[in-house]
Amino acid sequence: MTPLRGACNAARRSLVYRRATSASRHFASLHAGPANQSSVNPDEIAHFSKLSQAWWDERGEFGLLHKMNPVRIQFIRQKMLEMRREDGLDDVNMARPLDDMDVLDVGCGGGLLCESLARLGGRTLGIDASASNIAIASLHASADPGLTSTRKGNHTLTYEHTSVEDLLAQRGPKSFDVVCSMEVIEHVDNPAAFLTNCATLVKPGGHLFLSTIARTPLSYALTILAAEHILRLVTPGTHTHSKYINPDELTDFFLRLDSDPASQSAVADPPEVRRPWISRLYGSVPARTEAEMRGIIYLPWKGEWMLVPRGAAGASAWAEACNYLFWVRRPFE
Amino acid sequence: MATSVPQQSDIVIVGGGPAGLALASALSSQPAIRDTLRVVLVEASDLSKVRNWNDGPSTFSNRVSSITNASQAFLQEIGVWAHVDEGRTCPIEEMQVWDGVSDARITFSTQDDHASFLPDASPQSQMARLTENLNLQRALLRHLDSNRTVELVDNVKVQSIVREEREGGGWPLVHLSDGRVLRARLLVGADGFNSPVRAYAGIESYGWAYNTTAIVATLFHKPRTSFQAQNTIAYQRFLPTGPIAFLPLSPTASSLVWSTKPHLAKALLSSDPAVLTSMINAAFRLPEVSLRYLHQQILDSVSNGALISSQQLREEISWRGRSHHIDPRSAYSLTADTEGVPPEDADALPPVVTSIQPGSAAFFPLRFSHADDYIGDGAGARTVLVGDAAHTIHPLAGQGLNMGLGDVESLFNCIHKAVTNGGDIGSRTALLPYARERYFENHKIMSACDKLHKLYSSTSEPVVWARSVGVEVLNELDSVKAAIMLNAGSRSSRTPPSGRQIGANFAADAVESIARSVAGVSTLTTGVAGLVGEGLQRVLQTVANSQRR
Ligand SMILES: Cc1cc2nc3c(=O)[nH]c(=O)nc-3n(C[C@H](O)[C@H](O)[C@H](O)COP(=O)(O)OP(=O)(O)OC[C@H]3O[C@@H](n4cnc5c(N)ncnc54)[C@H](O)[C@@H]3O)c2cc1C
């Protein structure tokens, strides 16, 4: 919740997509547009490639992002363990909750999240539209024998310089148990297309994790006005406030998203067969087995990020105010 | 040196002292860590000497530490305490501390009022437990031997540490005297005061030698009579030359830690053991002026080459006792017959020492030093310091080893958390909470002890006056007492705050956070953090209030 957190966001948005750019994109566009038209924005890629050398400097511009990483993983871990219990699997490996799963990180940047996902057991693929990010990420992982070794039982981590639509074309739908995309969507010109592509890659019963910034006066003040223009903590031009997405907009998107997103615009299913990812809301909140939203705040006096506790008073207010994590599960078929 | 292929390891611990062994033990106790990390400990000396240490029940090692309840609870938690021979340890139920010049005295025990400031004022039966370092180290080794997950490499020295050359930041390469090279994801310096890991990390250390030496010895004495409390009271008298402490080990044996001037310590140790015995008894009892005189006698006798005999010394001491009008019926008398009903004030002083365990008298130089940081950075990345490698402290509060164990517990928790969250345990991000948690904690204890040492070393009029009226005494002793008692008490100071507490802790933490921020963050961002902090405080207050409802 500090302007510093702008730095984190700067760090994540290495993957940039563009459709026909409309200056004042309204959230309604989340529901619009075919999935195959998003493409990479070369200007923004150049912008982040310049920053990429700094990815692993824990005291540099991305310092706060490094600190945010454990909280993201904590959320992913909690949610995965919870859902495995929900599915009646009790032989869960607590140390490696992603064991034997195919995991994708879209917009992996320097590989911060990917390395952690791989350590938790996931067969992890990180993709990024910036070649230099992929180079940095691969170089960093190569120092760590625990990540690069392909010996059975060991972590595996690979990186690819590609976009989510190309990956979808290459691998086909339903390829990953877990798809993550952290602080990317607010930099995408066609978030609906982007989300649809990410969702299509998720296997039935699989998980999609997102993190982003809500579009509020507070987030404007902290991430753009303060962080970029006044304090220059983050290179100006990093954020576009109108692109920020509010939690209810995400919820709304998945309320409408069919269990099989690829089929949605083509053949209209009869209403009784339609199974959206989020089936209904309980007073604006989805069932915890379908989707969940958690705010994350920076505690300056601890120098740490914190996941706003479930059920804490004002928990939803936090999420709506600034940074939040979002999880949604694709229905089984 | 033959260059061999580096062996991959996740954690390399340099140093098999109490801190290094405790860290290894803690790591081996946790399945999530045991199953995922490869841990190696390197120690220059022969650990089988510790493993096979087997003193008889009536003799004691001269290196003894008071293990606080907090440390003991941690050792219990990781499964080590069960391996400690508890019969050789001794609870401390009370401490008596007094000023050698003014005689102002402060007593604290687990029963007294002051203990009620402990977070959950539950009466504890002990404040700390006197334990031979060897007893603890042997327990740690037994624990490690029982689960065999840490590779122990002893009789092998770390010869050099170099940084691997690699684009984007190399890992430390640890060259051992047996020719092996270990590539460390995380290199832990538990390697004592002259820490080679600290040197590699390029971490400066701030401090000074005290020009003071600590004499240690195992003392024998008569048991307390049935009219008295058992031998469970620790005594410490602050003399201008340094404090002298008497720490109970068994009904008839206790441990001495006597901090004094180096030349005097040397003279005392080269004298007849009976002379040392008499001087110890005198040091707890005679007025300061007489002690000064006696010390001069000893020094003169050494420099003249005509060592004072124990008989001469005893006569001198009893003459001084009489001239100070010490009542021969009092515990302060050194001529009194120690049989029969004990004097009324017997509990105010330790029992009279009758002899010193042969070979147990030794001395160590004392110093104050505190590393500028506990984690390495830049070219020294992937390093962390614990125990005496990070800090050495005057033994007057008996906190050195406890601080090391506190470090170990905190670092262990950090590593565990990082492993749980898929973090890189060698990264600054993973280690930073450790430095944050321990640096100021240790600093507080260290500066309190340092201030006490300096305060009591003074014979200057105003300082002595202040001491005698008790103002300074209480002020300064209270900070040490707080350190001792807090550690003696419950462990709630370390349990993570609940959501409810976050708001309450805010004010205290904020002060600390400002101090911390100044070190690393630019003033600009600090200011901003502060501003936003205020906003947060309001929100957290709301959270806290709503939970209270
Ligand atoms: C007189 C005295 C009394 C004390 N009383 C108390 C007390 O009552 N309570 C208390 O809590 N504390 C007390 N202390 C302090 C306590 O003894 C120390 O804090 C404690 O021993 C430090 O443990 P450590 O493991 O950090 O370091 P050490 O015990 O110094 O261990 C460091 C180890 O590293 C090894 N090493 C160093 N270099 C290398 C190398 N290059 N290669 C391989 N190995 C290497 C050494 O061989 C050694 O074993 C006292 C200290 C003194 C001097």
Tokens of B176: 């051992």
Q: Which residues pair with B105 in a beta bridge?
A: B98
Is B462 within the bounds of a domain?
no
The per-residue pLDDT for A28 is 36
A324 in Cβ contact with A218 (< 8 Å)? no
- Cα angle, residue B16 at apex, residues B15 and B19 outer, rounded to 5°: 85
Q: What is the mean pLDDT of residues A287-295?
A: 90
Classify burial at A153, counting beta carbons within 10 Å of its beta carbon; exposed 0-12, middle 13-18, buried 19 or more.
exposed
With a CB-CB cutoff of 8 Å, which residues 309-328 of chain B face chain A?
none
**Average pLDDT of the residues of chain B:** 81
Which has more pLDDT, A126 or A92?
A126
Q: For residues A253 and A280, give the distance between their C-alpha atoms in angstroms, rounded to a whole number.
A: 12
The per-residue pLDDT for A314 is 61
Task: Find the CATH number of the domain harbouring B335.
Answer: 3.30.9.10
The residue range of the domain holding A254 is 3-329
- Cα angle, residue B446 at apex, residues B405 and B444 outer, rounded to 5°: 90
Q: What is the mean pLDDT of residues B294-316?
A: 87
Is B283 within the bounds of a domain?
yes
Say whether both B85 and B135 belong to one domain: yes
Question: What number of C-beta contacts closer than 8 Å exist between A and B?
Answer: 114
The per-residue pLDDT for B301 is 87
In the reported structure, the alpha carbon of residue B18 is separated from the centroid of ligand 1 by a whole-number distance in angstroms of 7
Quick check: B461 pLDDT over 70? no
For chain B, the maximum distance between any two Cα atoms, rounded to a whole number of angstroms, is 79
Q: For residues B495 and B532, give the distance between their C-alpha atoms in angstroms, rounded to a whole number.
A: 26
Give A293-324 pLDDT, tens digit per residue.
888 887 777 778 888 887 666 656 655 667 88
Tokens of B422: 């898929």
Amino acid type, A46: A
Ligand 1 and B97: CB distance under 6 A: no
Give B426-450 pLDDT, tens digit per residue.
999 999 999 999 998 888 888 877 8
B109 in Cβ contact with B249 (< 8 Å)? no
Which residue, chain included where needed, has tokens 């409810």?
B500
Q: What is the mean pLDDT of residues B218-228?
A: 87
Is B194 within the bounds of a domain?
yes
Which has more pLDDT, A241 or B389?
B389
Q: Which of B260, B297, B298 is nearest to B457 (CA)?
A: B260
The per-residue pLDDT for A173 is 95
Q: For residues B517 and B497, give the distance between their C-alpha atoms in angstroms, rounded to a whole number.
A: 21
Domains of chain A: total = 1
Quick check: B506 pLDDT over 50? no
Q: What is the mean pLDDT of residues B395-418?
A: 93
Confidence of residue A94 (pLDDT cuts 50, 70, 90): confident
The per-residue pLDDT for A111 is 94
The per-residue pLDDT for A39 is 46
Say whether both B278 and B359 belong to one domain: yes
Name, of B231-235, B398-402, B496-500, the range with top average pLDDT.
B231-235
Q: What is the mean pLDDT of residues B338-365?
A: 86
Q: How far is CA B290 from CA B104, B285, B318, B322, B453, in A?
A: 18, 10, 11, 12, 21
Say whether both B230 and B181 belong to one domain: no
B25-51: buried (b, 16+ CB within 10 Å) or exposed (e) per residue?
A: bbbbbbeebeebbbbbbbbeeebeebb
Say whether both B402 and B279 belong to one domain: no
Task: Please indicate if any CB of chain A lies within 8 Å of the CB of B522.
Answer: no
The per-residue pLDDT for B472 is 52
Q: What is the mean pLDDT of residues B293-309?
A: 87
Q: What is the mean pLDDT of residues A251-265?
A: 72
The per-residue pLDDT for A260 is 64
Say whether both B355 and B416 belong to one domain: no
Quick check: A10 pLDDT over 60? no
Say whether both B436 and B388 belong to one domain: yes
**Mutate which: A301, A305, A307, A318, vs B, most B CBs within 10 A:** A301
The per-residue pLDDT for A65 is 86
Q: Supply the pTM of this predicted model.
A: 0.84
Which among B428, B499, B512 has CB closest to A312?
B499
**Mutate which: B373, B429, B548, vs A, most A CBs within 10 A:** B429
Q: What 3-state class would DSSP assign to B517?
A: helix
Say whether both B176 and B62 belong to one domain: yes
Task: Please indicate if any CB of chain A lies within 8 Å of the CB of B428.
Answer: yes
Task: Please indicate if any CB of chain A lies within 8 Å of the CB of B547.
Answer: yes
Q: Ligand 1: which atom is nearest the Cα of residue B196?
A: 41
Query: Looking at A97-111, A160-174, B138-152, B158-172, which range is the least confident one?
Result: B158-172
Confidence of residue B338 (pLDDT cuts 50, 70, 90): low
The per-residue pLDDT for A31 is 43
The per-residue pLDDT for B133 is 96
Quick check: B317 pLDDT over 70? yes
Confidence of residue B523 (pLDDT cuts 50, 70, 90): very low
Quick check: A180 pLDDT over 90? yes
Q: How far is B392 from chain A (nearest CA, A)?
A: 27
B219 in Cβ contact with B353 (< 8 Å)? yes
In the reported structure, the alpha carbon of residue B392 is separated from the centroid of ligand 1 by a whole-number distance in angstroms of 9
Quick check: B394 pLDDT over 80? yes
Among B187, B210, B401, which residue has the most ligand 1 atoms within 8 Å of its CB, making it the best to mutate? B401
Q: What is the mean pLDDT of residues B149-172?
A: 92
Is B496 within the bounds of a domain?
no
Is B486 within the bounds of a domain?
no
Say whether both B305 and B225 belong to one domain: yes
**Average pLDDT of the residues of chain A:** 76
The per-residue pLDDT for A21 is 29
Is B96 within the bounds of a domain?
no
Which residue, chain included where needed, has tokens 């906190």?
B399
Chain B residue with the nearest C-alpha to that of A122:
B422
Quick check: B335 pLDDT over 80? no
Q: For residues B196 and B13, give the distance between their C-alpha atoms in angstroms, rounded to a whole number.
A: 12
Confidence of residue B528 (pLDDT cuts 50, 70, 90): very low
ipTM above 0.90, yes or no: no
Q: What is the mean pLDDT of residues B81-99?
A: 92
Quick check: B83 pLDDT over 90? yes
Task: Please indicate if any CB of chain A lies within 8 Å of the CB of B225.
Answer: no
The per-residue pLDDT for A236 is 65
Say whether both B181 and B218 belong to one domain: no
Quick check: A275 pLDDT over 50? yes
B407 in Cβ contact with B211 (< 8 Å)? no
Task: Please indicate if any CB of chain A lies within 8 Å of the CB of B163.
Answer: no
The per-residue pLDDT for A4 is 33
Quick check: B377 pLDDT over 70? yes
Q: What is the mean pLDDT of residues B497-513?
A: 30
Which among B168, B427, B533 has CB closest to A58?
B427
Q: Which helix (H) or strand (E) holds B29?
A: helix B18-29
Which among B424, B429, B539 has CB closest to A67?
B429
Quick check: B518 pLDDT over 80? no
Task: Please indicate if any CB of chain A lies within 8 Å of the CB of B524.
Answer: yes
Which has more pLDDT, B278 or B330?
B278
The residue range of the domain holding B275 is 210-364
Q: What 3-state class would DSSP assign to A176?
A: strand
B360 in Cβ contact with B60 (< 8 Å)? yes
Is B472 within the bounds of a domain?
no
Q: How far is CA A307 from CA A295, A299, B242, B461, in A?
A: 6, 10, 50, 57
Query: Among B325, B346, B364, which residue terminates a domain?
Result: B364
- The share of chain B scoring above pLDDT 70, in percent, equals 78
Q: What 3-state class would DSSP assign to B510?
A: helix
Q: What is the mean pLDDT of residues B202-207?
A: 93
Contact list in B for residue A318 (CB cut-off 8 A) is: 539
Task: Give chain B's count of helices (H) and strands (E).
Answer: 16, 19
Which residue, chain included where needed, has tokens 């909280």?
A71
Instruction: List the residue whose alpha carbon is closest to atom 31 of ligand 1.
Output: B17
CB contact under 8 A, A2 and B433: no
Q: Ligand 1: which atom is nearest the Cα of residue B364?
A: 53
Q: For residues B431 and B374, give the distance between their C-alpha atoms in angstroms, rounded to a whole number.
A: 9
Task: Please indicate if any CB of chain A lies within 8 Å of the CB of B504.
Answer: no
Say whether both B23 and B82 belong to one domain: yes
Domains of chain B: total = 2
The per-residue pLDDT for B224 is 86
The per-residue pLDDT for B131 is 96
Instruction: List the residue whose alpha carbon is closest to atom 41 of ligand 1.
Output: B158
Quick check: A80 pLDDT over 60? yes
Q: For residues A92 and B522, give the distance between their C-alpha atoms in angstroms, rounded to a whole number.
A: 45
Task: Find the CATH number of the domain harbouring B181.
Answer: 3.50.50.60
Q: Which of B51, B135, B21 is nearest to B87 (CA)?
A: B135
B47 in Cβ contact with B157 (< 8 Å)? no
Chain B residue with the nearest C-alpha to that of A153:
B36
Q: Ligand 1: which atom is nearest the Cα of residue B45?
A: 47
Q: Ligand 1: which atom is nearest the Cα of residue B193?
A: 30
Which among B166, B421, B547 has CB closest to A73?
B421
Chain B residue with the nearest C-alpha to that of A318:
B539
Q: Ligand 1: which atom is nearest the Cα of residue B71?
A: 11
Quick check: B405 pLDDT over 70? yes
A309 in Cβ contact with A182 (< 8 Å)? no
CB contact under 8 A, B31 and A299: no
Q: For residues A40 and A106, give the distance between their C-alpha atoms in angstroms, rounded to a whole number.
A: 13
Is B539 within the bounds of a domain?
no
B484 in Cβ contact with B449 (< 8 Å)? no
Q: Which helix (H) or strand (E) holds A199?
A: helix A191-201
Quick check: A176 pLDDT over 90? yes
Q: Which of B149, B180, B150 is nearest to B7 (CA)?
A: B180
- The share of chain A scoring above pLDDT 90, in percent, equals 32
Ligand 1 and B176: CB distance under 6 A: no
Query: Among B341, B364, B387, which residue terminates a domain?
Result: B364
Which has more pLDDT, A154 or A27?
A154
Quick check: B48 pLDDT over 90? yes
Contact list in A for residue B36 (CB cut-off 8 A) is: 95, 119
Which has more pLDDT, B226 or B372?
B372
Quick check: B467 pLDDT over 50? yes
In the reported structure, the alpha carbon of residue B270 is separated from the centroid of ligand 1 by a whole-number distance in angstroms of 25
Confidence of residue B276 (pLDDT cuts 50, 70, 90): very high
B309 contacts: CB under 8 Å, gap ≥ 6: B272, B275
The per-residue pLDDT for A227 is 60
Q: Give the number of residues written for chain A.
A: 333
Quick check: B123 pLDDT over 50? no
Task: Find the CATH number of the domain harbouring A222.
Answer: 3.40.50.150
Ligand 1 and B243: CB distance under 6 A: no
Q: What number of other Cβ atoms are within 10 A of residue B397's Cβ?
A: 27
Helix ranges (H only) for B367-498 are: 400-420, 428-457, 461-468, 471-488
Instruction: List the residue whose alpha carbon is closest to atom 47 of ligand 1.
Output: B44
B119 in Cβ contact with B489 (< 8 Å)? yes
Amino acid type, B516: R
Quick check: B109 pLDDT over 50? yes
B165 contacts: CB under 8 Å, gap ≥ 6: none
The per-residue pLDDT for A318 is 57
Tokens of A68: 């945010």
Tokens of A15: 């993957």
Instruction: List the residue whose alpha carbon is closest to atom 13 of ligand 1.
Output: B400
> Beta strands A281-282 and A285-286: pairing type?
antiparallel
Q: Which helix (H) or strand (E) holds A117?
A: helix A112-119
Give B140-158 pLDDT, tens digit per residue.
999 999 989 999 999 999 9
Task: Please indicate if any CB of chain A lies within 8 Å of the CB of B187.
Answer: no
Say whether both B243 and B293 belong to one domain: yes
DSSP strands (E only) in B253-298: 253-260
Quick check: A242 pLDDT over 80? no
The per-residue pLDDT for A307 is 87
B140-177: buried (b, 16+ CB within 10 Å) or exposed (e) per residue?
A: bbbbbeeeebbbbbbebebeebebeeeeebbbbbbbbe
